Amino acid sequence: MTSMHLSGCPRALRSTRPFAKALFAAAGMLLVISPAPVSARTAPSYRFAQGEVAAWQSSYNRSLWVQGGQLRPEASQLIELVRSLRLDGLDPDAYRVRNLEGAVHAAFGGNPRDVQRADFMLSQTLVALARDMRATRSNEMKFADPAAIPPAPSAQLLLNSAATSSSLGEWLDRMPWMNPAYSALRDAMPRAMDGREAQLIRLNMERTRVLPSALQPGRYVMVDAAAARLYMIENGVVRDSMRVVVGRADNPTPMLAGMLRFAVLNPYWNAPPDLAATRLAPHVVSEGVGYLTRARYEVLSDWGDHAKRVDPRSIDWQAVVDGKMPDIRMRQLPGPDNSMGRMKFMFPNDMGIYLHDTDDKSLFAAPARQKSGGCIRLQSAARLGKWLYGKPLTTTSKVPEQKVALPNPVPVYVTYLTAAPENGQIAFRDDFYNRDGLGQRPPETAAR
């Protein structure tokens, strides 16, 4: 397949230092661009969290916010987070922030009953806001498989992670119930240079909101089409990455999530009809049907699973060139010059998108790697295969289309981040697919 995109080269960089102190200075601008907050009534998740926190405290017989009989100073940090929830499209009053402030203030007096009450309310608030911050989903991402929808961390997972962290304050700063890119973008919001930059950060916060949290166990693959890069992530840690080639501007790679369920070794390459007419049929016209034998192409009767081979001599190839046979199906046999390379990785979806090897490695050296027809070409398909299967994915057989099931399917998320953390800063990238609705960055800001 081919792509349009330019490189994921950063247009401008900004530090992603923790944001706490700078937040309220920027609040006026942020409220303008935030999505409508939830109702000021108490969030249903807040009431639901009450039982979960009670069960956790009973099971583990511990307090998260108490140390040495005193309320920990991180209680004030959580209150600050609650007060800033408009950044996330949530209303602080839906989490009884005033009641929480009163309870925490009383607990700092040292009365054991007040301390116990504040400890419970703090955990209840944390569980509720973490669930609600994950609940809003971008309408840009299409989930081809419900199994790929990342779950919100359970109360038990969330509270255990907080309780066992080496620093509760740093844990809260990281917001591990969200994807790491989300928290980095959120931290950068108060330092946005202007409203346009703030809007760009907001858009990409929504795109990262649907990605797995740092607490999600197991493995997943993330492809960032804006950066033209793939990441292999396990237990919240990037284990490997590689360059990819993604869709052109006229055939962009969609934002799509699914489950990688099998690989295909020795794949055929089905030539898209437009390429068959513009690139392949002219060779047949000028060189005869022998071209098809030399280049190892077959002509099939249709696009169905049970299509039959067609004698190429029965085809009017000039008509194909002239666009009078728009549905011609041509496929290339497996081999070293096959455009699919040696393997492809399938996550069933109705858009026909998958990840695949390629016989042409030259495009990976280019900064602009938007050259495919929508599918995702891999810089090293063998490396991805080994990571997914735990061993080299090879075959000695020459049989075409060998399907190899993945014993434990792995989620894959194809996203599009035009603002994203990179080397401790925020990289602003060109909007090659014009999805941001903001146009390209002005020259004076693009050069910053």
Residues 417, 376, 413, 173, CA torsion sign: negative
Residue among 5, 283, 306, 356 flagged as catalytic:
356
Examine the residue annotation and report whether 306 is marked as an active-site residue of this protein.
no
Catalytic residue among 5, 9, 105, 375: 375
Q: Is 356 among the catalytic positions?
A: yes
CA pair distance 48, 45, nearest whole angstrom = 5
Cα separation, 225 vs 308, whole angstroms: 36
Residue whose C-alpha is closest to residue 190's, from 404, 353, 27: 27
> Does residue 72 contact residue 66 with C-beta atoms inside 8 Å?
yes
Q: Are 125 and 387 in contact (CB under 8 A)?
A: no
Residue partners of 85: CB distance under 8 A and separation at least 6: 37, 91, 92, 95, 129, 133
Q: What is the dihedral of CA 365, 367, 373, 377, to 10 degrees?
A: 40
Whole-number Å distance between alpha carbons of 428 and 425: 10
97-107 helix and 112-135 helix, angle to the nearest 10 degrees = 150
Active site residues: 356, 375
